[in-house]
Structure 1
């Protein structure tokens, strides 16, 4: 354990370098060819085994130990967001996209883990698969890579992922790890409500069937799903994030459109939200003579951390860094992650590495000012590698 820790710490500057180089050219969605090429160059330099072009531009690296055993998988997402960066970092994005969710850091930690594991293949039982996955932000990358066989040759017996975090509540100690038992992240569902009424001059509203009025009532009505239909003990949210209607100040338009997201931790509440959202939209629209067409698209499911995988990761982190650096926290998050698609097939868990910026305010994810302290990323690589040795040794007994 001490050897892995020392070797990871010695890689600190290289891991930071990988992260900062990736940070300068973020790509979005499934179209990440430059990111793929960069990752492959680093893996080639290590002499690593990998398959590129998985599900488009994903990369699946494998470190096969010299001793027989099972397979542990790590997922490291690598896509950015269509956000113009305003962080002020010297290595800021050079295009109109931004790594505003830390995926550059996740990939850098994954590269570090591959290098650490390759150096000690003789001691490794079984194999470690490291997925560098695009399109997490749009919920498409995991399914694309699985459809292209990323869970084959070898087939993983368990999966683990790390996500950088600003911490929560009083638990904001930089470099610490947070572990959430059970339901950790919410589903990532999208809804679209298209309203069709009858337009009119703004001075003659009585001749209209106003879709703007219907849309406003629907926005308000949707808030009652969480406040009056969902159990207060089940964190959930329904957010309208786009409201599109009209083109001029004196014309009531014929159409309006609402788009948003629904999040919850429990499958049964997910069903309830989908049903009530459709009912409220259609009946509210009908009450003012407008038609509502509702489309509800289910994205990644809630992430339910596997108790055994999570416990093993927490134990390894505590042995590496001390009990106070590996904390079980009680607050699940209503953010989502398509890592949950893998855990429908493989027992898995996600943990969080707290890495707020060393100076200035700590902006959360998906913000143009998002920054992290990448001096702590070596700890993530260390946890990946040490967990691989620990878990594979135990599971191979």
Structure 2
């Protein structure tokens, strides 16, 4: 199938890199990138680190879009997709009109969850969000941050360093409980106190009101600034009447193709089939989106591909680098390497003797060695694994 006119929807990492990959793989027809934000495609991980701290301003990808022959349609939001009575191809309806295509890339990412209430709540999803929040982080400011997940911890890190009086309110029993479980997440709780941040777990928020937060028990927590970081949802509501299968994200197979082979989806908005984990996966992290971009471009151009990575992500918080690889959903126990009181430690998740996932705190070699082993499948020698002085690779054997 020769595609003459490809449209990419989404200006984040997934969309931008897929557009570039399409050109690199030989697509010579029209190529249009539609992005809801008014900025050229940029990198998001630095937003809650260097950009919020004021150490970096522009994280745009160093791509010469004109030289690539990519038409950027910035500040244009996708509103509907018409695939009916079109085969192959269809019509993308946007806030600026309609675009016909015979190949489509869906990379619309995710949208942050907002809380009820009439008070102002700051989000940290876009560069404009972060630029609006940055000047408010002043010494003595009372900052209430809802959510002790990855983003919440990074924002708390920067705000505390700026001298803000930070209170983090978390509905779960521990930081990162939704991501890595309460037992492992609880090991990061002392980091907050050491940074001068007040952490209140098991505390639900009813609404964001003028002047602060209304908590579920009726208490009012006064704050000068409220930041909400309670997660995100795939930005797929606009596809409801498209005829594509939606199950949290756009459902795709292991080649990232939808039920229409001329339509692929990737990144935070895609629910891709993983033969490795035997289920559809929605992984809202940078590394997965980057890996998927080459695969999505190849699939759209008719190549035989298989996208089945081991999920990986990282976070910088309270002076530590925290890295995670794998998927611990099927694990039945954990193994600790080192003590959480040490400067560096790691946790392994196991299902029987099989390694499922790893969390490494300032132990990058553990992460690298476990990540390689996870890709091929391995079992763990427990006595060696529990000794932090033993190289992790010496505790892993092929399954």
Q: TM (normalized to structure 2)?
A: 0.27
Pick 1 or 2: higher relative contact order, CA cutoff 8 A, min separation 6.
Answer: 1
Structure 1 or 2: larger strand share? 2
Structure number with the higher helix fraction is 1
Instruction: State the TM-score, normalized to the length of structure 1.
Output: 0.27
